[in-house]
Amino acid sequence: MFKELHNEGYLKFYLKTMSPLSIKAADNNDFDPTVPDNKFLRSYKDGKLTVVMPGSSIKGVFRSRAEKKLKGCDIFGSEYCGKKLSSSMDGKERYKESCPACKMFGNTALKSRILFKDAYPIGEVKMGKRKNVAIDRITGASKRNALFEPEVVEDGTFECEIKMENVFNWQIKVLTEILDEIDDGYVVFGGITSRGFGRMAVQNVQFTMRYYDRKNISGYDDYGFYIERKFDREMLREKLSKLALDDECFGKVEFDETL
């Protein structure tokens, strides 16, 4: 938990499948011939079992892309921020000494500012199975007796929500740029992506920004305890278009800006 809450952001959008989506469940029954080789992950929503894109998977995709854009630290190397930060540092010091990606998504010594909810489908979902064959990495040919048939979402729309706490404008810009890169096909979800699976389209983007320590800002509604404003996708792009992703913005630690 943060000692002080300066702002909150709520980014909501839909992810519409543009190609088959495969997210493998962990409890596949390999001994039941009637069950697909790789069942799609399911969870309960409003008392009903349904397919789901887990928030942890969505966060992993966003973080991976952000690390490439921002040149984040190597989480498996000696320069990983979580290893370098000392427990004797206060929160601001740990934040300041972290790489830009860790400043957004956290590490073992720093809380994440970006929280991802599980994404459940809206309306009907069309399921299917796709036959695939494993490839021998040495010969490049198909392996014998290596046919597998994963269960996929052929057509469906998932409702996604990202909550932000104590975020800076540059962090919001990174998220919006990743949304654009999802539309462009540079960011994909799930498994078997090398065969074209996991393409998604972003729809119905809505962003709400709330400040707890600001007053009398043009365009914001005053609710007494906080002020709030809603943005659509184009408004966000316009607001953030002139913001450069550079060391100056990455080094910010004081909340002296508004969107």
Considering 18-27, 62-71, 157-166, 250-259, the range whose residues carry the highest mean pLDDT is 157-166
Give 43-57 pLDDT, tens digit per residue. Answer: 999 999 999 999 999
pLDDT band at 234 (very low <50, low <70, confident <90, very high): very high
The predicted pLDDT at position 89 comes to 80
Both structure tokens of 33: 């011939």
Predicted pLDDT at 146: 56
DSSP code at position 41: P
pLDDT of the residue at 136: 53
Helix (H, G, I), strand (E, B) or coil at 259: coil
Kind and range of the H or E run holding 96: helix 91-96
Cα 215 from Cα 52, distance rounded (Å): 39
Q: What is the tens place of the pLDDT at every residue in 81-127? A: 877 777 778 778 888 888 899 999 988 888 899 999 999 999 999 99
**Reduced to 3 states, what is the DSSP secondary structure of residue 58?**
helix
Provide the pLDDT confidence category of residue 189 given band limits of 50, 70 and 90. Answer: very high
Q: 39, 24 in Cβ contact below 8 A?
A: yes
Can you tell me whether residue 165 is helix, strand or coil? strand
Rounded distance between C-alpha atoms, residue 82 and residue 70, angstroms: 17
Q: In Å, how far from its chain's centre is CA 6?
A: 22
The pLDDT score that the predictor gives to residue 24 is 86
Quick: pLDDT tens for 130-183.
765 555 555 544 555 555 678 899 999 999 999 999 999 999 999 999 999 999
Say how many CA atoms lie within 13 Å of 89 toward its Cβ.
16
